Structure 1
Amino acid sequence: MPEYHVVADRAEFESAARTLASGTGPVAVDVERASGFRYSQRAYLVQVYRRDAGAFLFDPPAIGDMGALQDAIGDEQWILHAASQDLPSLRELDLNPPSIFDTELAARLLGHERVGLGAVVEDTLGITLAKAHSAADWSTRPLPQPWLEYAALDVLHLVDVFEALSAELDAQHKTDIAAQEFEAVRTRPDKPPREEPWRRLSGLHTVRGRRALAVARALWQAREDFARAEDTAPGRLVPDRALVAAILADPKSKHDLSRVKEFTGRASRTQLDRWWAAIEAGRAETSLPPDRVPSDGLPPVRAWADRNPEADARLKAAKPRVDEVARELVMPVENLLTPDTLRRVAWAPRVPIDEASIAADLAAHGARPWQITATAPVIAAAFVESVQPTGDDAGDVS
């Protein structure tokens, strides 16, 4: 295994970009973050490989402007594994692929049982990759050589995997399907921020009362502000369960808070003034959060029989039909059509119910053309049949 190093110098970066520009074929790209260690989801390492150019490991925080890399490879197809995880971090660096090939998504569409990078490399090329450093803190500097070898291996084989999976897609007549899915991933906008992200606190369901929820909100915000300032993952400062424990303990003083054994975390005591101030602010809040927030989500499926029996019948009729199409196509049903999309169409389809109206509903919910072609006919037929009277309902006797 050759010895790798991180490109952090501007002159070396621009030289590497010129080398990549002179390479041939598509470009393999991967990103390493420091999730669970740092506050942000920024890229701390970008790995790039191209035939006739080699592999390069770039340090974005040190380099700064990555425009030379975009200029070098911005007209080529980029090969990524689980692209939806890496594209937001790449966009943050103004690195934008004109088209992508997602090796994980391709493996799913092909019906592979294992779709992790190591498994896909092994299944297609017979090469075993060690995944020992997947959860490492990639903001560490300097990065140890074993970590750099691991990072390089994430891109070194991707072009060969791309060629193998492309041949499989062609053999299964799924090349166009894959192209539509890749483009949907590439152009999908980043998720907007949640309106009330503090409600994602693990264990919040145990907190009762609007005043206590106001305290939870204030503690969450205080932790968020401190984590951002420290560039540290919030849970490493004070875990969710510790915040909830402090709320449930309802301490009467800062001293009482310090005695809550479950209030743990490396900043739980060193920042005690911060947390006590947040508790007091939450208790003094005049605008209290509601116990529950309205949701535009559908009711749980188990409640459909009572809430909307016609929709329940439609869903029960259509689901096995869609499952059967997925089996025929040899792919997971969620890649053929997400369960949420089927549920939304079943809940309130446009009328009259026919193939054209179902196709329009599917398109409105983001289904791709190939998905609509594969599923609209069977969904429409199932919906229509779900309202047909049975023999007993029609008064048949025999």
Structure 2
Amino acid sequence: MNPQAEELNIVIREKNPVVYEMLSERGKNIFFPKKGILGQTAEAKGVRINATIGAAVEDNGTPMRLESLENKIGLDPSLVFPYAPSFGRPDIRAKWRSMIYEKNPRLADKLVSLPVVTNALTHGVSMAGYMFVEQGDKVIVPDLFWGNYNLILSHGYGAELQKYKLFEGGQLDLVALKASLEEGGIGKKVMILNFPNNPTGYSPTVAEAEQMAAIIKESAGKGNKIVVLCDDAYFGLVYETGIETQSIFTYLNDLHENVLAVKIDGPTKEDYVWGFRVGFITYGIKGGDADFYTAMEAKTAGAVRGNISNSANISQSLLFAAFEDPAYKAQKADKYAIMKKRYDAVKEALKDDKYQECFTALPYNSGYFMCVKLADGLDGETIRKILIEKYSIGIINLNNVIRVAFSAMAAGDAKELFEGIYHACLDSKK
């Protein structure tokens, strides 16, 4: 093991030995290099002639760049063309953490880590897998989950996705969640909580969030060492009263010394910048202090460094500028209003009782999506093809559950969409 990795491990073992046990072998062995090329480059910062870093500069010391690119970008070249740190730009890391506190008042004065920048949330989930998932580990997920978990964690890291039933009687099946945590006896557990959920567009009620936290705390109290990946991709898009608007991370970040909460989030869906590819990983645990979090941040940045080197500087700079813009919050509220209008249009369209013959809506209240479950005897793939060929409508078929992305359609199209699904179901019976 590299001595720099062991230095970080000593800190983690001293502060919370349980977290050290949660780390995968990759996680235990990873570190952010303070020596070598990066260390030597850091020591040379500010010298008159700097021939360290592998980037080109103009004779005046500014980043070398093509005018054909610079002319299209209204930012200082130093914010665009050089590498960003593997940890992420310090300004956006600090800004994002302040925004996490602002959006989640439950955190109050609780200490969490400084976010480490990832190449958006897919990469964030992958880096969490790098840190905590071993070949053959089981990762607890609901039976309705984002398909990329399978590609990342199962095919990428050799984990097995252990599924539990998401809904029972129009609400979260917390009995199934508890049973899934109890499966396999006492030991290390890795689980994913994704709210608003993709594909269903469901977020827990406040009472459900409290019950989930209680279940996880009880499990930790029995000796389980639990890593909870909080996938907050669609955070902030809640459309009903009584639904928890804060991240489930806020319930878990200081729940128990045996529960490590890992917040994976970013502006991709929240701020409508899908192509910017910026995300964040933030840690929270009961008793976590600055030294502990600094060690976890260094390991995570080391994983990023060894995987993609760093995330795009220009994306981080543009986002930081937007977050500092006085008009940002009003603009975001305007886009939320559009999304809420589309959600309301879906609710209104689904009031038509005739649809019950062919499909019923699964619980939904937030996010980008909602789902309908087809009646017995109907085949989702057949219906999907009929919708394209006859009605010029595209949906996603998930084993006879149809996912509708109302985020991607006008409110005025909601009625036509569900009429199309209804008639495609009837057509498939002929």
The TM-score by the shorter chain falls in which range?
under 0.3
What's the TM-score once normalised by structure 1's chain length?
0.26
Whose relative contact order is higher, 1 or 2, with alpha carbons under 8 Å and at least 6 apart?
Answer: 2
The structure where helix makes up a greater share of residues is 1
The structure where strand makes up a greater share of residues is 2
What's the TM-score once normalised by structure 2's chain length?
0.25
